[in-house]
Chain A
Amino acid sequence: MGIRLYQEPQLENPILVASWPGIGNIGIIAVDTLRSILEAEEFGEIEPWEFFYPKKVLIRKGVLESLEFPSSRFYFKRVCGGDIIFFIGEEQPTEGGRVYAEGKKAYHMANLVLDVAEKFKCRRIYTSGAAVALIHHTAKPRVWAVPNGPGLVSEIKTYQNTVLMSAIEGRGGHGNITGLNGLLLGVAKKRGLEAICLMGEIPVYLQGLPLSYPRASKSVLEILSHSLQVEANLDTLDELDQKVQQRIEEFYQQIPLEVRGQLDRLKQVAYAQPAEPGPITEEEERKIVEDVENFFKKRGERG
């Protein structure tokens, strides 16, 4: 039980790009879009039995025909300058009703993914997820980048539209990455593999909605494609973004005027360095988050 490889492609200096679903499905949409654009070929999977409950049953004329489990698949693509392995997990293995992967199952899955990375001598790992930020949905999301070693910092500083945690207002270089998108970084470090997590910003008031946020996926993909030296036509993401933005606007108009007024002020946010005074004070930031939380709490109480 574990990894099943259908073939063992000969790959040169590959980079592994992995993602699982998370807030706004930002990472997985970015990674899966790139996999699709590059027409990467499936070559293996992690067997699901010990990680997941089945997701679908098909019964025809009273006979149980099939039982489907969430997939965890590997793909490869040969490209000039370095081949790519994609890993896409349809679900995160959870324990005890938690939303994101945690515990021994998550650790086991992270290790299985990295077993494949090491087998094919991957020189780097990228993961991708979401960064909940005090931004407006009309803004272009930045990408927060977290490396698993200091040697990668200088390279990250050359990425466009990307910030390290130390450059994020009020963070002081600290934070955490929940779930497997984060765990993989730690396990890679333990194995001496370099890894970077790229997180696209999602507005704080959208994090609880059952919506994907392709605008942030696009920001992530711009960095990823540059770093992997591949050309990616992002038109499909733009189309998806337009549709989602329409739905967000519909939702936005339902927010009470006084809360929306606070949120509208986020349009003025310019990314300030920690030492500089921003257009919104810390006190005002707290107020916005409080108002949004109260709004959702009231919505929840009303059912």
Chain B
Amino acid sequence: MSSAIVQSAQAQSISLLPINGQTFSPGGKLVWEIPPDLGLIKASRGETYLVFTVRNNSSTPLRWMLATSGQALIKDVTVFSMATGQQLESLQNYNQAMWILDQFTQVEHGIQQSVEGMVSEPWSLEFVGGSVERKVVPSYDSADGVYNSVFSPIDKTGKPATTTEVVFPAWQVCVPLKLGIFGAFGEEKLCPVISLGGLRIEMTLSDAQPACVPLCPVISDVPLRAPITTPLFPTAGIVVEQGVNLNTVNVLNTTIAKSGLVVGQVVAFASQGGTSNVASSAIVSMTEIGTSVGVSFNDTVDCGVGVSGRIATTAAQWASALNYSVEAVELRVQQMVPPPGVLDKLTGSKVDYSFRTFELFYDSIPAAERRHQVEIHSVASRAKSIMAFLYDSTEELDENSPSYFYGTDPDTLNLNSVQFFINNRLYPLQSYDPRRTRDRPQTLNELQKAFEAIDMPVKSFGDASGANLDSYSNSFLISRALVRSGDFVYNLREAEPSIRLGFSGTRTNITRVNTFVWSDRVISVGPDGMTLLL
């Protein structure tokens, strides 16, 4: 008699639904409960991930892409112990931190672009026309240009790719959930949810801005960086006379995809020299005619007798229509079944579980200040490194290029001196000037050491093609490694760390400084309950 095949509990990947719904809007909160029965889970290298569909449901048809990837939709994540209700980890500005990690710790992004909805150009800054600009948003990334179009697929007539022709189809993304408690930062490990009494994960979705950015037109292979001032239609403007219909106006040297427009989109017009809108109309059809796109509008548009007209609709106006919804959300969890001996240890009298995470500190630099000290009120006793991300407060939600993700470069900020002051000592001994033609290599060296301290070596400094070689192309960060990689830690509890910044000039706006402090934490579970050692 042949022996029976026995089906026993084994390592497997299961799917958990949020306990509070299936469809969510911007700002919504998703809650998961990972029961302790799962024992150990593996999530440190993306084995545990979110699956959901993202729908472009802007109030009027409008093509947009995510500013970074599917991670952009997740604003904050908080993790609690299910058994005790104790907060174990809080990742504020999760999407900002993930974009920083994605830029620096991945060398190639093909898979992320294919499954996470990542943008075609995974970097933040580029050097154009004598100055550094934040990332622009081309709607056409290459000969085929598919990545930036995934959330707003159109058909060959320029309509949303559904039979209703006004609603875009939902697009599925798979986004790894990177939490410190999962072991996502630093060395690979298994998370003992059985010891932690299960986990409750609360996730807050981002607002539509800055997560989504409208596609801006690409004419003659050049993205229109400032649609506010650049005429979309022929550079000289269109002569739009009273009562003349704008049907079949040709947008030169572009394609339907590159134009960034979609049928149904409402476009406003102004006279060529004017600033106020004089008319608006919805696009009713688009046709590719050779190297141009013929665009027809619903209404007659009058800019004045004999006056050239231009599209005056700004990205800001379009952005007000931006919206998305997240649907069919599931969390795939990779469960590992511990061997009997290990299980005993996990449920034994005392368990210490160490993990690496970050905490976030906010600061603002007034526009007129020439010297500023960024105070970092961390009490982490096992700190590893510090990274400060600077951006213009007024452009945090910029429609074309949100500085919340892409940051600002030191030249734009007039930032010419950086020095850390920790435990009454200055690091490095001499301040350095991070501007692109000054101490940029030292800035990048400090950054590399800060990433090595958290065991996540830098694999990319961004795109160095063309003039970008002279500048920063990944987000600009002020960094300091507190220890070398490995088991070393630094006690910040009484060190009162700060960053001393100097500026060669004032700025127009307030600058925000988001400082990420990376540290190890230990959750100690014993007969007396659960304690979290910071």
Chains A and B are bound partners: no
Residues on A close to B: CB < 8 A? none
Residues on B close to A: CB < 8 A? none
